[in-house]
Amino acid sequence: MKKVERINIIMRYVNNRSHFTISEIMREFNISRSTAIRDIREIEAMGMPLVAEVGRDGGYFVMHNSILPDVRFTDNEVKALFIAFMATRNQQLPYLKSRQSLAEKLLGLISENQQDDLVLLNQILLFEGTNPNNPDLLELSDLPHPMLEKLIQVLLLDSYLLITIEEEKVIKSYPIYLLHLYHKKSLWLIEGFDLKEEKKQIFPVDNLTNVEPYPSKKRLSKKKILEKLSKQEEVTNLVLELGPKAIAQFKKYHPLKVSISYTNPYQTTAILKTFINVNKPEELTEITNWLLFLGDDIKVREVPEEVLKGLKERLCLYFP
């Protein structure tokens, strides 16, 4: 049975029942759990008002004869939405085309006075990545990698993935358990536990050519993955005490995997503990630049010799 035909039959099936479960859909249509969940989500996306029930015997029911209330926004809510759109423009975000259609719909809902306020704000407010010479409210020119949205759709259904990466014109496949998907220095990166090598790896989304769920028979359990990761955790080799000025700089920018713990209730002092891989020149350079960025409101408790050497070399360039 073709997918379109199956979804149409499932829609008729659930519409004629007061209650149904994923297991019932699996048995009735002889499909896997992941396929059943994916079909139900597609049916929801088409506009059928399905309501999920939580609990041991939970399932779904169709909300018949439902009338959704009108959505109304206050002036401040409208401004908050559009300023968020402006601030994230040209950031290679997923679902960028949908965001543009959403902005167009929101503009159609508000009054002319509210629209005039937004146009004025758009001309005055400038964010990193915006073009002051073309202040079009709906300008969204920097689309993300086309595989990003497919990756998100798959990972919402399953964290065990088989990703295909092109590296220097060589195609390689990696079975991974996805830990995080993050954006750093204008790049989307996949942080995953490699199920074959049994170690954490980072993959650029720009190199991604395909992604699909990884077969369940070959999976490690999430518990075992976390146990292996905990054993592989690096030993802390950078410890800093931060004062209020350094904390302010930390909030402006810090490496993704670095965090601080406040040491007083006023959050004016903090301690930072992390691991620096001194065998990676790019990481060493980044940390050296970042420590200089923090300023002089820090006390060093522990630091690798390689980082100290990099700081001295950088300071010698400034003060020969």
Confirm if 195 and 177 have CB atoms less than 8 A apart: yes
Q: How does residue 299 score in pLDDT terms, banded at 50, 70 and 90?
A: very high
Confirm if 232 and 199 have CB atoms less than 8 A apart: yes
139 in the same domain as 152 = no
To 10 degrees, what angle do helices 305-318 and 281-294 make?
A: 60
Q: Which tokens go with 165?
A: 């990466």
pLDDT at 212: 93
pLDDT at 139: 62
155 in the same domain as 138 = no
Domain count, the chain: 4
Q: Is 287 exposed, middle or buried (CB count within 10 Å of its CB: 0-12, 13-18, 19+)?
A: buried
The reported pTM is 0.59
* Average pLDDT score over the chain: 83
Name the one residue in this structure whose structure tokens are 């992941």: 34
Q: Is 232 exposed, middle or buried (CB count within 10 Å of its CB: 0-12, 13-18, 19+)?
A: exposed
Of 161 and 43, the one with more pLDDT: 161
pLDDT at 174: 94
φ and ψ at residue 142, rounded to 5 degrees: -110, 85
Residue span of the structural domain in which 221 resides = 147-231
Q: What average pLDDT score do residues 167-189 get?
A: 87
CATH code at position 272: 3.30.70
**Boundary residue ending a domain (207, 231, 255):** 231
pLDDT at 137 over 70: no
Q: What percent of the chain has pLDDT over 90?
A: 20
**Boundary residue ending a domain (41, 62, 83):** 62
Q: Which of 190, 210, 209 is nearest to 200 (CA)?
A: 190
Q: What average pLDDT score do residues 139-144 get?
A: 65
Task: For 43-100, write each residue's pLDDT tens digit.
Answer: 887 777 777 776 665 688 777 655 555 566 778 888 888 888 877 776 778 887 777 7
Q: Which of 128, 182, 123 is nearest to 155 (CA)?
A: 182
First to last CA, the chain: 75
**d(C-alpha 295, C-alpha 183), whole Å:** 25
221 in the same domain as 151 = yes
**d(C-alpha 206, C-alpha 217), whole Å:** 29
258 in the same domain as 225 = no
**Boundary residue ending a domain (122, 144, 166):** 144
123 in the same domain as 187 = no
Name the one residue in this structure whose structure tokens are 């075992």: 224
57 in the same domain as 24 = yes
314 in the same domain as 301 = yes
To 10 degrees, what angle do helices 75-87 and 96-109 make?
A: 150
82 in the same domain as 58 = no
Confirm if 40 and 50 have CB atoms less than 8 A apart: yes
305 in the same domain as 264 = yes
pLDDT at 134 over 60: no
pLDDT at 265 over 80: yes
Confirm if 60 and 14 have CB atoms less than 8 A apart: yes
154 in the same domain as 224 = yes
195 in the same domain as 131 = no
57 in the same domain as 75 = no
pLDDT at 255: 81
Q: Which of 165, 162, 181, 266 is nearest to 219 (CA)?
A: 162
Q: What percent of the chain has pLDDT over 70?
A: 89
Task: For 242-254, write each residue's pLDDT tens digit.
Answer: 999 999 999 888 8
Q: How does residue 205 score in pLDDT terms, banded at 50, 70 and 90?
A: very high
Q: What average pLDDT score do residues 125-134 get?
A: 64
42-54 burial by CB neighbour count: b if 16+ within 10 A, else e?
ebeeeebeeeeee
Confirm if 202 and 190 have CB atoms less than 8 A apart: yes
Can you give the length of the chain in residues? 320
Neighbours of 165 (CB within 10 A): 19
CATH code at position 211: 2.30.30
Q: Which residues contact 238 (CB under 8 A, 6 or more apart)?
A: 272, 273, 274, 275, 276, 287, 302, 303, 304, 307
